[in-house]
Amino acid sequence: MEMEIGKAGRRDLAREIERLKRERGATILVHNYQPPEIQAIADMLGDSFDLSRRAATTDAELIVFCGVHFMAESAAVLAPEKTVLLPRPDAGCPMADMATAPALRDLKRRHPRAAVVCYVNSSAEVKAESDVCCTSANAVQVVNSMAEDELLFVPDRNLALYAQRFTSKRIVPWNGYCPIHHRFTADELRAAREAHPGAVVVVHPECTPDVIDLADEVLSTSGMIRFAAEAPVREIIVGTEEGMLQRLRREFPDKEFILPSDCLLCVNMKKIGLEDVVASLRSVQPVISVPEEIASGARRALERMLTVPRNI
Ligand code: 13P
Ligand code: SF4
């Protein structure tokens, strides 16, 4: 009975969101890790790369970003004439907080000939100190597009080490990491493989090198959707945040998706509820904005990122 009331309540909230969205001329951008009821109200559901591109090109005056802070901030930087809302401003990314602009300036002073490649999971201040941004979908392509032979890569050490496998450039990794992907171990993956010997293993490049060594495919979150759609396999072990599996199970009900660890849950990605989206659309708050003196540098790095095609 309670489940039914819950469902009806969710339906009412979703209807109210639809009405407010039309009234305000808003578009709702949703990351693949968001809870299913938020995924269901998306105008676009995708990974960091596709959502950044959509933010830069949408006609809507108002963007409601259902993801974490750096994603809404990137949207605000790429679409300075639009209003960008993050329904829960406390939805942050611990990895993004692991790099600061003063510490990056210090590292740049020690590597004067190096260029800076900055994972999009970072603050606007750090982006403004960087030559180019990348997402998990185009990190390798971005690294190889640079003229410099030495690259500082912030903040994700695991993604830096992954990109290093595909380039002769010298990458100096920052010491940041995603606490969720970093916790997931090679032993857990081995155990999942043993339990599902016929399964193919896909993992996110934020995983540690020993996990990546055991994977069949290393993919961004939208890359995982494409893989599930195209690969002639029935069982897939998915080494990334569990919200991804909710989308995969919904879109490919004839396939089996296995979560190889119970630590793959990003609490920040689960903060936004339907009621937060309603409140946000009603009040047109909280607005995410970036002072232009920081935004201009961050925009240069983000726009350059968008010129480099995704490969995973
Ligand atoms: P994607 O860019 O692959 O969507 O990943 C974003 C993220 O935060 C992974 O932890
Ligand atoms: Fe940040 Fe990791 Fe959560 Fe992605 S999954 S938002 S990298 S903490």
Q: Report the pLDDT averaged over residues 135-143.
A: 98
pTM to 2 decimal places: 0.96
Cα 23 from chain centroid (whole Å): 29
Q: In the predicted model, is pLDDT for residue 2 greater than 60?
A: no
CA distance 266 to 253: 24
Indicate which ligand has the atom closest to the C-alpha of 268: 2
Average pLDDT for the chain:
97
The percent of residues in the chain predicted with pLDDT above 90, rounded, is 97
| 240-261 mean pLDDT | 97
pLDDT (0 to 100) of residue 7: 87
Q: What is the pLDDT of residue 1?
A: 40
Which ligand is the nearest neighbour of the Cα of 271? 2
Q: Compute the distance between CA of residue 239 and CA of residue 260 in angstroms, rounded to an integer.
A: 6
Whole-number Å distance, alpha carbon 47 to ligand 1 midpoint, is 6
Q: Which atom of ligand 1 is the closest one to the Cα of 46?
A: 4
HSE (side-chain half, CA atoms, 13 Å) at 300: 13
Whether residue 225 is predicted with pLDDT greater than 70 in this model: the reply is yes
DSSP conformation class of 216: S
Confidence class for position 112, pLDDT limits 50, 70, 90: very high
pLDDT bracket for residue 4 (50, 70, 90): low
Please give the distance, rounded to the nearest whole angstrom, from the Cα atom of residue 222 to the centre of ligand 1: 9
For the segment 170-185, the average pLDDT, to the nearest whole number, is: 98
Helix (H) or strand (E) holding 237: strand 235-239
Residue type, 291: P
**Centre of ligand 2 from the C-alpha of residue 78, in Å:** 21
- pLDDT tier, 5 (very low <50, low <70, confident <90, very high otherwise): low
Give 272-311 pLDDT, tens digit per residue.
999 999 999 999 999 999 999 999 999 999 999 999 999 9
> How far does residue 4's CA lie from ligand 2's centre (Å)?
32
Kindly list the strands in the beta sheet with 150-154, ordered across the sheet, starting from the edge strand earlier in the chain.
Answer: 132-134, 115-119, 150-154, 170-173
Q: What is the mean pLDDT of residues 250-264?
A: 98
pLDDT given for residue 275 in this prediction: 97
Q: How many CB atoms lie within 10 A of CB 308?
A: 22
